[in-house]
Amino acid sequence: MQSAMRKGVMKMMRPMMRKVALGVPAVALSAALACTMAGCGGTEGGQDSSGGNEAAGQTANSVQTAEVAGFTIESVGDGSYYRGAAERQDGFWLRVKITNNNEAAKAPSVFSARAAVGTFDAGDAVFDASGDQRLNADTKTQAVELGEGAQMDANAKIEPGQSVEFIYFWTTKDNYYGPITVEFDSSSSSDSNPSVMHFDTTGRESDEYKAVREAAEAIEAQGGIDFPSYSIIPADGWKLGDRIDEKYEGCDFKHGDEAISSIDMRTFKTSPMMEAEARQGSKKKGVIDEVEINGVTWVRYTAESGAVSLFVEAPSGKTVSMVIGSKLTWDDALLMAQNVVLK
């Protein structure tokens, strides 16, 4: 991926640019951080942790059932799934068996499935609110293998008397694990008859998220920081500053006993070259070239003042930038750039 990335950068470079090779080859990413959402081990099942019965929801042999809009809905499995390297969070999944008891073919879209953090009765106002307790449907990072053999199109009709398995995915905030209530109800307010199922994901983090969390903790234990697009451990003589920006994966580092930061880092959605040219401006002040660090090609912009900005595309697709203070020597800054691990 890094090779392809370098080729992409090269196509954008002007012929007069020079390329300088620095550093030695390094491992780009640890195995622990290479996890994807392809696996969701250790979290499947969970029916035994279901809560008590509700008037409109029944439990038999650890299988919870609901009768809504002429359908019988039975819980099959539930648990946590890893949402991928970009999100670095677990979500909640629920697989159900849906049987159409109507006289005509109908789709699951005739009823809704809403999830909320906590234990609630059917008809609770939390399911009609948009607060922090409501879980949002995950339409981007669904764990495909969990859906094998299941229907995922809510608009696909089910014939009368027929059954299909269906799977839902919800995002959770701050990697929540604990009681979750799912309410099923007719999509028509005139036919409302809500029913709930109770689940509990306490202690059921996915293996993938656990590996990522442990890797991040190991980096932080060394004074570094870990973001979805990159991680970095300070070189000798450096320390992490006070600025931490999760949204833009931003942070700063201080050199020696300096009170102000000497290196600022963050990510951008635009390409490395676009970021460099934006700093050069319409008058083309300063110099843009390439520099190779640990086998990875960065776009480097050197301002007339001597300040240097480095840009590189990470496997995440975002551009990682490193802005180096003008009072810092290139050799000192290089020690930090060599410690950047792209993800």
Question: Are 30 and 51 contained in the same domain?
Answer: no
Residue 69 lies in a domain: yes
Residue 218 lies in a domain: no
CATH of the domain at 335: 3.40.1000
Residue 66 lies in a domain: yes
Question: Are 58 and 19 contained in the same domain?
Answer: no
pLDDT of residue 301: 96
* Eight-class DSSP state of 158: B
On whether the CB atoms of residues 115 and 179 are closer than 8 A, the answer is no
pLDDT of residue 245: 95
Question: Are 52 and 174 contained in the same domain?
Answer: yes
10-residue block means of pLDDT along the chain (343 residues)? 35 34 35 34 45 39 90 96 89 97 96 96 92 89 81 92 96 93 92 94 95 94 96 95 94 85 94 96 94 96 92 97 89 93 96
**Domain around 317:** 2-34+223-342
Task: Write out the two tokens for 98.
Answer: 């849906």
pLDDT of residue 147: 81
pLDDT in tens, 271-282: 999 999 999 999
pLDDT of residue 314: 97
pLDDT of residue 120: 97
CATH of the domain at 187: 2.60.40.1240
Residue 82 lies in a domain: yes
Question: Are 24 and 115 contained in the same domain?
Answer: no
pLDDT in tens, 168-189: 999 998 889 999 999 999 998 8
Q: Which of 155, 176, 205 finishes a domain?
A: 205
* Predicted TM-score of the model (pTM): 0.68
Residue 41 lies in a domain: no
